[in-house]
Each structure stands twice: as C-alpha cells, then as structure tokens.
Chains A and B, each alone.
Chain A
Amino acid sequence: MINKLVLENLRHRWIRTLLSALVIGVQVMSILTLIGLSQGLLQESASRQKGTGADIFLKPENGGATISFSAGQTPEAFAPFVARQPHVAQVLPVFSTSVALLTTMSGVDIEGLNKMSGGLHLLEGHLPSSPNEILVDQYYAKQNNLHVGDQIRLLNRPWRVAGVMEGGVLGRIIAPLRSVQAAMASLDPPKVTQILVKLDDPQRTDQEVATLNKVLNGNLRAISMQEILSQFSINNLPELKVFIRVITGLAILVGFLVVFLSMYTAVVERTREIGILKALGAKPRTIIDLLVREALVLSLIGWVIGVVLAIAAKSAITALRPASLHIVNVPAWWPIAAVIAIVGALLGAFYPGMKAARQDAIEALSFE
C-alpha cells in the first residue's frame, strides 16, 4: 500500500516528477557520455596505433606520458640507425601534430605506411603523389564534407585531398613526412615525434624492445604495441580519472540538490497529508520510508531517461562529429550511473524525510 501511495504521489504531481527525473537523467547522461567519449577516443586511438602494423614504437624520453597530445620531438637520424639493428624489417619515422582538438595530422612516408600497415584501404582517389597532397580518413571526410580534389587549409598552408581512406591507420590526416616537417619548421635538422618499427618476427617483440632500449641508451624509449594498447585505458590516465571523479561528484551533488528541493517542497506541500498518516498511526520511519521510496523511484526514472539520452547523444555525436569525437555506448557503466543517481537521491531525501518524520501531527493536520 505504501508503494501505491508513493506511485500515486509521483503520478499526481507528474510535472514535478518528470522535471526532477529529467534533471537526474541529464546528470546520468553526462556521466555516460563522458565515459563513452573517453573510452571511445581511447579505443579509437588504440585501434589507429594497431592499424599501423608496427610492433614497436620509439618515442622521445622527454615526451612525457606514453599517451600525450603534445609529443616531444627527436632527430629523424635515429631511424636509419634503428633500421640497421638485427630483426628490424622496417622503420617508419612519423611527425604527428594536432590540427584541431583531438584531431592529429601525421607526416609519414606514405608508401612505407602502405607497406607496414598491410595496405591502406582507399575508398576514393589515390595515394598522394605530390608534397601538398594528403589522405583523409572517412570520418574526417564526412565531418568536413571533403572529397578527392578538394582543397583544405591546415598548418597554415593549402593541401589537396588525394584520397579518402578507411579509418583506423595512424591518424585522421596523412601527409608526406617532409611537407609536415616543413610546415612545423622541423626540417633542419629533420625531426620526428615517433618512429614505428616492424620486426621480421613479431614473436621477438619483448626481446627487441629490451635490445633497442639498450642500444638507444636513453635517447628514445622503445614500447611494444601490446604496452601501447594497454596504456589506452582510463585507469592509465590519472588526469582523466580525476576528471571523471569530478564529474561524478558533480552528478551526485546535482542529484542531491534536485531531489532535496523536490522532496523538501513535497514535504511542505504535503504537510497535511503527513499529519493524516501520523494520525492513522504512521511511525516516523514509515514517513521517511515513504519519501525515500519516492526519491528512489525518481532516481530510477531519471536513470532510465539518462541511459536513453546517452544513447541518443552517442548517435548525435557520431552523426555530427564522426572525426573529432569518437564515442561508444558503455553498458558496463549503466549500473554505476544508477548507483550514482540513487546515492544522490537518497542523500537528497534524507533531510526532508527527517523533517517530515519530526512534524507534529496536530500542527500538520491544521496546515492549510
């Protein structure tokens, strides 16, 4: 019967119920979208690294974390030295730079990348044949409405789109290495941000990582593909973890405030009803229970709205920003988001519940 009263109360004041649930839903959506974006971007970056076909990555020691948007630079001269090492089948110096938020342009020997990756899959056009030609992936082409032959200005110079390739190899935009180095004033002496290494036997990766680290003597750090992929996880990005915690905390705070306000006004509005229940013999804990259950239902409705909004947001982001924002659905986080919504709601219901439970029945019954 208490459950029926809870549902009838929520149904009776449906606009407030819907608005409160909607605000909780927006918070749930924020969390799920943030996590979906984080995981999507990391997964997509990992997949592009994997798509290069490299077994080992050589990165400058001063490049900071393995995953960094601002890579350090190192002399390209290391490439021929590494190429001479035993079991090294191919080396590919790469200069990557950011051209927009979360979008990088990579300068590379395109024929070499074609060979190392097992063949770039062109959807339109051909491989660049002149210094000012570039390849863009399908997502970047779609987001910027680019086709073969179109001109685009990047790094303060014009480029011509030679081809549109399937995504998943190195970067969204691939250009000749020398052209990117020139645009970035890193040509004299030529510098790169990383060197990709393919071995003649991938089974030897761990041994060769150790060997390369030894011969490079601290000038570059060799990292296996496996290690690179394992680094593309939220757990390996302390800053991202902190950011997610802050957003989660804000979600709990907003959930708390919304439910607090909703329940507080409900308690004031329903003073007389609470008095009636008390006159009928409702114990203080029954009154608290009533409000807590209302808050629980609100948070669960809000959670459902939030999951639906998050799925809709994923579709919208994928349609509108396929290149710059890669997002995935994160069903594993749905129960966590539910717990966050419930915790916020329960905290919000606590004080109003206590206030209602302490209300004097006689005063409540005379409330107009």
Chain B
Amino acid sequence: MNNGSPIIRVRGLQKTYHTSDVPVQALRGVDLDVAKGEFLAVVGPSGSGKSTLFHILGGLAAPTDGEVWIDGEDLRRMSDAERTEMRQRKVGFVFQKYNLLPTLTAKDNIAIAQSLAGKTTQPAGFERILEELGIAHRLTHRPRALSGGEQQRVAIARALVNEPAILLADEPTGNLDTANSEAVLEILRRLNKSIGQTILMITHNPEAAAYADRTVTMRDGRLS
C-alpha cells in the first residue's frame, strides 16, 4: 500500500450477532476510509454500532461480511491468532474505563504492552511523549493512586508504546470531568499533529468530536 492509500479501508462491513434466537444486525454495510495521520471521530447514539465498529477495527471481533483493511492487511482473512498478532503490532487501544492492570505500576502497565508485542526497548522520543502526557513523574504509582485523568494518560502512553498504525479510542473522556476531558482530548490532538498518529475516536459527545479533523455519524449500523 502506498502513502496515498487509506490506513483504514472498510467496504460493505456487516456484523450480525447470534446471541439469542433472533439475530442482531449491528453493522449493516459500513464504508469508511481513514487516511494515515487523520484524526477521525465517529459519533452516534447508543446502539448505533459504534462499539461494534471499534471492536472489528481493533481485531477484537471478526466481521460477518465485507472488507476491512488495516495498514494494508485484510482482517477478513485473518485467523484469531493473526488478529491477536495484529493487535500487538498495529493497534493501540484507549478505553472509557482506562483498563489498566491494577496490580502493576503505571510504568509496568506500559511495559507489559511492550512485552506482549515482544519488544524490549521503548521507541525513540517516547520519553518526550511521557513528558507531553504529564505522567513522567507518576510512573511508579499503581492505578488506584492515580486520578482518572492520569490513568487515561497512562492508557494513552500504553497505546502508543508499540508505535501502532492506528490508535482506537472508545469514549476516552466518558469517565472524566470536564477539565480532564479537555486535557485528554487536547493530548490526542497534539499527538495527532506532532507525531502524525492516526486516531479513530468513538464518542457520543459532539464537543469531544470537535477535536477531530473529521467527524462521521453512525446510525442504525450505517455511517451517514
């Protein structure tokens, strides 16, 4: 794939869940292109399919039908094991509830992501990113000793440590107060501009979406 091709390319994506007698069609044919270095917000009401899209793009769930290409790799053809490897190399996650491991310090939460990806050294400039995130002095603390904003910034550092092709953020400010929400969104925007990190952010908050370069709306399993 050349530099002009989108880093995320989705065509006719469908996802149907069969958890009960009645199949639930969460995605009904999604088409989406995200350029490398773009900051995209996906907005939409609850149940619109945002999270399903997030899970499929992150390799946490397999599509039922359609094409999904991440940084030149076809997700539809991947086995579970290959999607696991893709998550190590190409995707960084930021969740609404931070999802840090409670028994490890902030530093070790970052290190375990590296370890799982088989990497031993942090990328060049990562110290600067930690400074930019404002957590360099809080790395020896466990999550319970950190504020929500600090935990989310540690989660962002963890998502970036393996230099992922895309950073997927699912309601990253959903658990934060206004000041911390603005700080986190500002950090995401700065990272997007300073290191060219591709970011796809799921949110139902139009104010949060305003930090992105582009916003798409999801409704009833389709993008509009």
Contact = CB atoms under 8 A, between A and B. Distances in A.
A361 B113 CA distance: 16
B123 to A, nearest CB: 16
Interface in A333-368: 361-362, 365
A281 B108 contact: no
Contacts of B103: 5, 8-9, 11-12
A18 interface: no
Interface stretch (B29-37, B87-95, B183-191, B196-204): B87-95
B11 to A, nearest CB: 23
Interface in B8-55: 55
Contacts of A282: 84, 116
A279 B116 contact: no
A286 B60 contact: no
A272 B99 contact: yes
Nearest to B120: A1
Contacts of A279: 58, 60, 87, 93, 99
Nearest to A273: B101
Given A1-B115, A280-B113, A273 B87 contact: no
Q: Is the interface of A mostly helix, strand, loop or mixed?
A: helix
A280 B55 contact: no
A157 interface: no
Interface residues of B, number: 27
Nearest to B155: A276
Given A280-B87, A362-B55, A365-B95, A12 B112 contact: no
B99 A365 contact: yes
A153 interface: no
A277 B87 CA distance: 11
Interface residues of A, number: 23
A365 B95 CA distance: 9
Contacts of A272: 99
B93 A12 contact: no
Interface string A275-296: 1111111110010000000000
A267 to B, nearest CB: 15
A280 B95 contact: no
B104 A280 contact: no
Interface in B76-97: 81, 84-85, 87-89, 93, 95
B61 interface: yes
B111 A1 contact: yes
Nearest to B89: A281
Contacts of A286: 116
A264 B14 CA distance: 36
Interface of B: 55, 58, 60-61, 81, 84-85, 87-89, 93, 95, 99-104, 108, 111-117, 158
Interface pairs A-B: 3 shortest CB-CB = A281-B88, A1-B115, A8-B103
24 contacts: A1-B108, A2-B112, A4-B104, A5-B101, A5-B108, A8-B103, A8-B104, A8-B108, A11-B103, A12-B102, A276-B99, A277-B112, A280-B87, A280-B88, A280-B116, A280-B158, A281-B87, A281-B88, A281-B117, A282-B84, A361-B60, A362-B55, A362-B60, A365-B99
Interface of A: 1-2, 4-5, 8-9, 11-12, 272-273, 275-283, 286, 361-362, 365
Given A280-B112, A281-B84, 12 more contacts: A5-B101, A5-B108, A8-B103, A278-B60, A280-B88, A280-B113, A281-B113, A282-B116, A283-B81, A283-B84, A362-B60, A365-B95
